[in-house]
């Protein structure tokens, strides 16, 4: 487990036409995998 629990902010750009089809995004950084739900703004 990674001991560095520093919060990180990711900005993900998605075309508007594809946005309705997405439910979540998986971010893989340094071998750590995080599933992030999409919240429309």
pLDDT score, position 2: 55
Q: What percent of the chain has pLDDT over 70?
A: 80
- CB-based burial, 5-37: b 16+ in 10 Å, e otherwise: eeeeeeeeeeeeeeeeeeeeeeeeeeeeeeeee
Q: What percent of the chain has pLDDT over 90?
A: 0
Q: Is the pLDDT of residue 1 over 60?
A: no
pLDDT score, position 26: 78
- Residue 2 · residue 32 · CB < 8 Å: yes
């Amino acid at each position: 487990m990674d001991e560095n629990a520093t919060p990180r902010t990711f900005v993900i750009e998605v075309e508007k036409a594809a946005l309705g089809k997405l439910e979540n995004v998986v971010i893989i950084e340094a071998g750590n995998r995080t599933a992030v739900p999409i919240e429309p703004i």
